[in-house]
Amino acid sequence: MRSILVLNGPNINMLGIREPAIYGRETYEALLAYIQSAADALGVQVECVQSNSEGALVTAIQQAYGRMDGIVINPAAYTHTSVAILDALKAVALPAVEVHLSAVETREAFRQVSYAGMACEKTITGKGFAGYKEALEYLAQKS
């Protein structure tokens, strides 16, 4: 069975409260249930980690080395600022997919650069929770 780390960065734990016009009214707990249901349907194991701390996300990526088969990452605000997350993804060299709930490419200019995405095989934006399912499907089919 494939094992996939699902990482969520800052403020994702505030789903349902934070800017619902952009991120929707579903909660983080609902996202976790959605991810688990998608993983179960695909026959993959998931480990979900959310942190508002850049260092904790880097540590989670490093700890995936030798344990996980792939990474789904929504670096959230760290998308546009974290060379440390980019370097950690490059170091472990696991297949990774970047996911964003919103269509970041249509938002503010500063959101147009993704450091984490430079180490990802695929980026999925603007599909809400369904983006996570798409990312899991992509990683599940990799041999």
Q: Any idea which residues carry the catalytic annotation?
A: 23, 100
Strand partners, 7: 49, 73
Reduced to 3 states, what is the DSSP secondary structure of residue 21?
Answer: helix
Residues 94, 91: Cα–Cα separation, whole Å: 9
Cα(34)–Cα(38) distance, integer angstroms? 6
